[in-house]
Amino acid sequence: MKKLGIICKPGRPETIEILRGLLPWLSEKGCEALVDKAAAYGSGITGYERAEIATAADMVLVLGGDGTMLSASRLVAERGVPILGVNLGSMGFITEINREELYAALENMFSGECDLEDRLMLTAKVYRGGEIAAEYFVLNDVVINKSALARIIDLDAFIHGTYVTTFKADGLIIATPTGSTAYSLSAGGPIIYPTLDSIVLTPICSHTLTNRPIVLPGDFQVRLILKTHSEDVFLTLDGQIGLPLMVNDVIEIEKSAFKTRLSMPCERDYFKVLRNKLKWGER
CATH number of domain containing 193: 2.60.200.30
pLDDT at residue 267 tops 90: no
Residue 51 lies in a domain: yes
Instruction: Please give the tally of structural domains in the chain.
Output: 2
Q: Are residues 142 and 168 in the same domain?
A: yes
Q: Are residues 147 and 193 in the same domain?
A: yes
Rg of the chain over all Cα atoms, to the nearest angstrom = 20
Do 102 and 134 sit in the same domain of this protein?
no
Q: Is the pLDDT of residue 101 over 90?
A: no
Known catalytic residue at 66: yes
**Confidence tier at 111 by pLDDT (50, 70, 90):** confident
Instruction: Assess whether pLDDT exceeds 90 at residue 192.
Output: yes
Q: Do residues 109 and 63 both lie within one domain?
A: yes
Q: What percent of the chain has pLDDT over 90?
A: 59
Query: Are residues 238 and 126 part of one domain?
Result: yes
Same domain, 192 and 230: yes
What would the mean pLDDT of 83-110 be, rounded to a whole number? 83
* Same domain (yes/no): 110, 126: no
Whether 163 is covered by a domain: the verdict is yes
How high is the pLDDT of residue 169? 93
d(CA 139, CA 58): 20
Burial (CB count within 10 angstroms: exposed 0-12, middle 13-18, buried 19+), residue 218: middle
On whether both 59 and 32 belong to a single domain, the answer is yes
Contacts of 159-167 with C-beta under 8 Å, sequence gap 24+, read 159/216, 159/220, 159/221, 159/222, 159/223, 160/216, 160/220, 160/221, 161/221, 161/223, 165/211, 166/227, 167/203, 167/206, 167/208, 167/211
Residue 95 half-sphere exposure, CB side, CA atoms within 13 Å? Answer: 28
Do 110 and 16 lie in one domain? The reply is yes
pLDDT band at residue 275 using 50, 70 and 90 as cut-offs = confident
Distant-in-sequence, close-in-space partners of 226: CB < 8 Å, separation ≥ 6: 144, 153, 154, 155, 233, 245, 246, 247, 248, 249, 251
Can you tell me the mean pLDDT for 34-59? 87
Q: Considering the entire predicted model, what is its pTM?
A: 0.91
pLDDT given for residue 196 in this prediction: 96
For residue 1, the model assigns a pLDDT of 65
Range of the domain at 84: 3-115+264-278
Task: Check whether residue 185 and residue 203 sit in a common domain.
Answer: yes
Q: Distance of alpha carbon 243 from its chain centroid, rounded? A: 17
Cβ proximity of 150 and 232 under 8 Å: yes
Question: Is 53 within a domain?
Answer: yes
Q: Is residue 283 part of a domain?
A: no
Q: CA angle at residue 70 from 65 to 66, to 5 degrees?
A: 20
Judgement on whether residues 102 and 174 belong to the same structural domain of the protein: no
Out of 66, 154, 170, 249, which one is annotated catalytic? Answer: 66
CATH number at residue 272: 3.40.50.10330
Q: What is the mean pLDDT of residues 34-50?
A: 85
For residues 110 and 137, membership in a common domain is answered with no
